[in-house]
Every structure is written in structure tokens, then in C-alpha cells.
């Protein structure tokens, strides 16, 4: 007895289903075919599925040859048209629908990549220190050591620099901390982990870092989630024979968190905002007072890109 191939396909799909107690018998009620629980019962009884278990409709179909001159429908063309219409419908529903449809189709049209997973998110994103009160020291530690976990060592490096050049830093820290003793207390914390604001990295510490490591530091900040600002810090002094900073480091400061930025160059030039009023205040007393002129191309580029150099009497280079 012959049985429709469609019936066989439906039975194969039904047999592959997993059920807990009862399958619902939907296939039996709607198509006259044995449902999952019926097939399992036959199997448990040691019986095979037989055509007489199917409604006679599935074994009584008659296929006749088409009359002379009849044209067979181009089924491939029809299916392509249906698929094209579905694609248009998906596009009309927006990006989310396109993304979902792409995910469903990908395993079928590119099975070689179906098992690939998205890369895991980095637990320690580059340049984004933990907001634990140590973020400024973490950012600077990453600059020097390539590892932000050396932040306690960075604290001690700054304390050593201040102790070795007390005459330079007394005036620098007088306004912020009141005395170098208070500065050493703030910077010299040796306990790892989160800390209170009493021990945070402050903007004035940029002067010490820039001097210790002979670098220029560019800082971009944000006020009230709308107003941005930028400034540049240079070393306060330099060893004999050194004629310019060794590199430019870029940071972001939100008022409570330090983040390292990675900026590219435009024709070999890095954008340079105006120089910090703190650095400008000490410039006349320094042997490197003309180092700001080295960055004039970067300052012009900063303005060209939309930056603003404020009119400031302390910043005599403007």
C-alpha cells in the first residue's frame, strides 16, 4: 500500500518530538495520523506502525498525468518569489527584525560558522581602571608598567620624587594639601583595594608624574554632562641634556574617575589643548619654560578640530 510522502514526513517529525506525559494528540485529531503517544504505545507493545493506523486519505491519493499541452508551474521560481517577498517584509520591520532573521538563516546558509560564539567581553577593558578610588594611580601604573595593578608602586614612586625634589614641590602642593607632609600622607597609602577621597589622585599630581617620567599629559574632562574641556601638563624640570618630553599621554577625567585614552595622530601631529594654568604659573621659574612652543602644531590642530583655547592671563603662551 502506498502512502503519501507528506504523511511520512509528518510522522517522522512527530516521532522526533519529546514529550513529558501526553503529546496532546494534535496530529491524530487534525490529520488522522498516529500521534507521538500512539507511536510510543505501539513501540512499547512491540508492534510496528502500519498503513492501516493512518486515515485512508493518506493512501488513497491518485496521481494522474497532466493533459496534453498543460504547463507545469515553475515551483522554484514561485519559492524564490515567496522568499523575496518575505525578505522585503523583514526589511520593512526594521533593523531588529533583520538581525533576528539573519541569526535564524545563518546556520542554514553558512553552517561552517554556525558553532562560533561571540568573543567574551574583557573583564579588564584597556584603559578603563576600576572606580575604586585608586583609578588615577591605576591609569598611571598602566602607562609605565603596562599593568594597572602596580598602583601602590606608582604611589611610592610619586612620594620618592617629591622627597628627592622638595624645593620644587613645596610650592606646587601648598595650595592643594597645605604641606608636603599632607601630600605624602595622601600619596603614600600602602593599603591595596578601594580608598576614600582623602587618598585620591588629584590633578596637581599630574605635574609630579610629568616631571618624574618626562612626558606631556593631555587631559580631557566633562562638566555637567555637556561642557567639555581640555588642558595639557608638561614637566616642571628636566635632566641635563633633555630637550623635550619623551611622549604624550592622554587621559580623561569625569570629576571623580580617571580613564586612559588612546588618540591617533593627524599627519603625525597630536591635538594639544591649552597648557594648564598650574604649569603656566611655574613656567617663568623653570629651565624648560619654552617647551610649550614645541607643541604649537598640536595646539593649532586642536583648534582646527573644534577645540577652544580660553583667554587666560596665566597661560602666557596664548
Q: Which domain holds residue 157?
A: 135-304
What percentage of the chain exceeds 90 in pLDDT? 29
205 belongs to a structural domain: yes
How many whole angstroms separate alpha carbon 258 and alpha carbon 190? 20
Q: How confident is the model at residue 67 (pLDDT cuts 50, 70, 90)?
A: low
Residues 156 and 243 in one domain: yes
Whether residue 20 is contained in a domain is answered as: yes
Question: In terms of domains, do 248 and 141 share one?
Answer: yes
Q: Write down the mean pLDDT value for the chain.
A: 81
Indicate whether 207 belongs to any domain. Answer: yes
Please indicate, yes or no, whether residues 283 and 191 belong to a single structural domain of this protein.
yes
Mean pLDDT over 103-126 rounds to: 70
Helices 75-92 and 95-109, packing angle to 10 deg: 140
Same domain flag for 142 and 1:
no
- Alpha carbons 129 and 140: distance in angstroms, whole number: 10
Tell which wins on pLDDT, 114 or 129.
Answer: 129
Residue whose entry in the numeric block shows the C-alpha cell 576600576: 130
One domain, residues 50 and 176: no
Report if residue 229 sits inside a domain.
yes
- pLDDT confidence tier of residue 137, bands split at 50, 70 and 90: very high
- Is 23 in the same domain as 169? no
Q: For the segment 204-235, what is each residue's pLDDT rounded down to a tens digit?
A: 999 999 999 999 999 998 776 667 789 999 99
Compute CA 39 distance to the chain's CA centroid, rounded to the nearest angstrom: 52
How many CA atoms does the CB half-sphere of 251 hold within 13 Å? 32
Q: Is residue 130 part of a domain?
A: no
- The answer to whether residue 270 scores a pLDDT higher than 90 is no
**Shared-domain flag, residues 52 and 163:** no
d(CA 12, CA 38): 13
Same domain, 168 and 276: yes
Residue 295 within a domain = yes
Cα atoms found within 13 Å of the Cα of residue 306, Cβ hemisphere only? 1
Angle of helix 180-187 relative to helix 166-177, nearest 10 degrees? Answer: 80
Of 154-158, 169-173, 253-257, 282-286, minimum mean pLDDT range: 282-286
This model's pTM is above 0.85: no
Residue 109 in domain: no
Q: Which stretch of 69-73, 112-116, 155-159 has the lowest confidence by average pLDDT?
A: 69-73
Mean per-residue pLDDT, 121-134: 69
Q: What pLDDT is attached to residue 22?
A: 63
CATH code where residue 144 lies:
3.90.70.80
In a shared domain, residues 202 and 296: yes
Residues contacting residue 58 through CB under 8 Å, at least 6 positions apart: 3, 4, 7, 32, 33, 51
Helix residue spans in the chain (DSSP H): 5-16, 26-31, 36-44, 75-92, 95-109, 135-145, 151-164, 166-177, 180-187, 205-213, 277-283, 296-304
Residues 257 and 143 in one domain: yes
Quote the cell numbers at residue 163: 622627597
Answer yes or no: is pLDDT of 53 > 90. Answer: no
Domain-ending residue, one of 28, 45, 63: 63
Going 165 to 167 to 171 to 174, the CA torsion angle's sign is positive
Of residues 316 and 231, more confidently modeled = 231
- Are 251 and 141 part of one and the same domain? yes
* Structural domain count, the chain: 2
Mean local confidence (pLDDT), 275-280: 86
Cα 117 to Cα 82: distance, rounded to the nearest angstrom? 31
* Domain presence at residue 150: yes
Does 174 share its domain with 30? Answer: no
Q: What's the grid cell of residue 15?
A: 516521532
Amino acid at each position: 500500500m502506498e502512502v503519501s510522502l507528506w504523511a511520512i514526513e509528518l510522522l517522522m517529525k512527530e516521532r522526533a518530538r519529546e514529550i513529558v506525559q501526553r503529546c496532546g494528540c494534535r496530529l491524530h485529531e487534525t490529520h488522522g495520523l498516529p500521534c507521538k503517544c500512539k507511536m510510543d504505545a505501539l513501540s512499547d507493545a512491540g508492534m510496528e506502525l502500519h498503513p492501516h493506523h493512518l486515515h485512508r486519505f493518506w493512501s488513497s491519493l491518485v496521481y494522474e498525468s497532466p493533459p496534453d499541452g498543460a504547463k507545469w508551474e515553475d515551483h522554484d521560481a514561485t519559492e524564490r518569489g515567496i522568499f523575496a517577498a518575505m525578505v522585503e517584509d523583514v526589511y520593512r520591520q526594521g533593523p531588529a527584525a533583520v538581525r533576528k532573521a539573519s541569526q535564524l538563516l545563518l546556520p542554514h546558509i553558512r553552517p561552517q560558522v554556525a558553532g562560533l560564539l561571540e568573543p567574551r567581553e574583557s573583564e579588564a577593558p584597556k584603559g578603563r581602571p576600576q572606580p575604586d578610588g585608586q583609578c588615577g594611580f591605576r591609569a598611571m601604573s598602566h602607562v609605565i608598567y603596562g599593568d594597572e595593578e602596580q598602583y601602590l608602586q606608582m604611589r611610592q614612586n610619586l612620594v620618592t620624587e617629591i622627597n628627592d625634589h622638595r624645593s620644587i614641590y613645596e610650592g606646587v602642593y601648598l595650595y592643594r594639601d597645605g604641606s608636603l607632609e599632607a601630600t605624602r600622607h595622601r600619596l603614600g597609602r600602602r593599603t591595596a583595594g578601594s580608598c576614600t577621597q582623602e587618598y585620591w589622585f588629584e590633578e596637581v599630581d599630574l605635574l609630579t608624574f610629568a616631571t618624574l617620567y618626562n612626558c606631556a599629559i593631555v587631559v580631557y574632562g566633562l562638566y555637567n554632562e555637556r561642557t567639555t574641556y581640555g588642558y595639557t601638563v608638561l614637566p616642571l624640570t628636566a635632566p641635563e641634556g633633555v630637550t623635550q618630553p619623551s611622549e604624550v599621554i592622554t587621559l580623561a577625567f569625569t570629576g571623580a574617575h580617571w580613564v586612559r585614552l588612546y588618540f591617533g595622530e593627524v599627519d603625525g601631529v597630536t591635538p594639544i589643548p591649552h597648557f594648564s594654568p598650574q604649569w603656566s604659573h611655574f613656567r617663568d621659574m623653570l629651565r624648560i619654560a619654552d617647551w610649550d612652543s614645541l607643541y604649537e602644531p598640536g595646539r593649532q590642530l586642536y583648534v582646527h578640530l573644534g577645540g577652544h583655547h580660553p583667554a587666560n592671563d596665566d597661560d602666557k603662551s596664548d
